[in-house]
Amino acid sequence: MTALLPSTKRLIDGLFSASALARTHLSRSITLVESSLPKDRVQAELLLDHVLAQRKLHHAAKTASFRVGIAGPPGAGKSTFIETLGLSLTQKGHKVAVLAIDPSSSVTGGSILGDKTRMTHLSNAPDAFVRPSPTRGTLGGVAQHTNGSPSYSATRCSDEYAEIVLLCEACGYDIVLVESVGLGQSEIVIDDTVDFVMLLVPPAGGDELQGSKKGIMEIADIVVVNKADGELKRYDRYLPS
């Protein structure tokens, strides 16, 4: 039986410590879970086992977070919107975690992970945590471990406890905002991870036929028309509801 390494034990203790270094432990825990190295995968599984056990132990005193998925086409202003929303929530006393999913290159496999650059104020807020993650070829608008990988989802993390979201909840974040990659019309996996789906669309995004198409429009709990200013301000009046 593989033993829990001291470094992994420190991560687990740090997640539940509510100390000033909790965000550092959370970030390192996510890095461990996202790693593809065999030795890290073993420790990641042990870490998630212990976090789930601690979660069950403290279930009565610690409720799950409210998870909001924010989707929309590229350039709809998701990151800027999330910064404003996140700052408003922290000012109301909430602890907010943001999981920003960036697409990975189909050519090089790399990812810019640039969404965090549009959340500079939120990133520095003491009650907020912003973490960009690559899709690594995962389809559906989310990253592999945001929605639970096959190796964990069946035995370790149910639909209620997607891996990275689970770690954020263990660290005390009561609201988790999941920003999907820029979506088309069929990427609906995000609905399996969150409690509420918000779809951001720009003005002049299409006619009534586009608005009646299925897919992402069917799972959205609310549709927000963003960037309705400047030259686009006059178009938002004509968007079909």
Element containing residue 223 per DSSP (H, E): strand 222-225
Q: Which domains, from first to last, does the chain contain?
A: 63-238 (3.40.50.300)
Contact 142, 121 (CB under 8 A): no
pLDDT at 214: 54
pLDDT digits (tens, 9 = 90+) for 23-74: 999 999 999 998 889 999 999 999 999 998 887 776 545 557 899 999 888 8
> Distance between CA atoms of 179 and 85, rounded to whole angstroms?
12
Lowest mean pLDDT among 89-93, 104-108, 153-157: 153-157
Element containing residue 198 per DSSP (H, E): strand 196-201
Buried-exposed string 129-145: b where 16+ CB fall within 10 A, e elsewhere: bbbbbbbeebebbbbbb
